[in-house]
Amino acid sequence: MYLVLFFASGAFISRLEHLPILTCLFETSSAIGTVGLTLGVTTKLSLISKVILMLLMFFGRVGGLTLIYAALPSSGSNKSRQPLEDISIG
């Protein structure tokens, strides 16, 4: 999932902004990895490209498994149980 987001976003930003692909891939990898590095082109990007980078930062921070579990429907059955033992304190 991260590789698809990384390459697709980098290619889209490169095509949209007419920048070298390696520069855009660096920006997208920094965004999805929530690293905070830049080559200085972020301030020159259009609003659409900045939104893409913001979404990548969000996906990178939240995590892939969290997004997958949030998107899947719940099974409805509760598999957890209350403990049956008495715990003595003191």
CA–centroid distance for 20 within its chain? 23
Note the pLDDT of residue 50: 95
CB atoms within 10 A of CB 12: 15
Report the C-alpha gap between 30 and 71 in whole angstroms: 25
| H or E segment and range at residue 85 | none
Is residue 64 within 8 A of residue 2, CB to CB? The reply is yes
Mean pLDDT of 18-30: 95
Q: 19 or 70: which carries more pLDDT confidence? A: 19
> 3-class DSSP state for residue 3?
helix
Tens of pLDDT, residue by residue over 58-82, are 999 888 788 788 788 776 666 777 7
Tell me the HSE value of 61 on the side-chain side, using a 13 A CA sphere. Answer: 10
Average confidence score pLDDT of the chain: 88
Note the pLDDT of residue 76: 63
Tens of pLDDT, residue by residue over 38-57, are 999 999 999 999 999 999 99
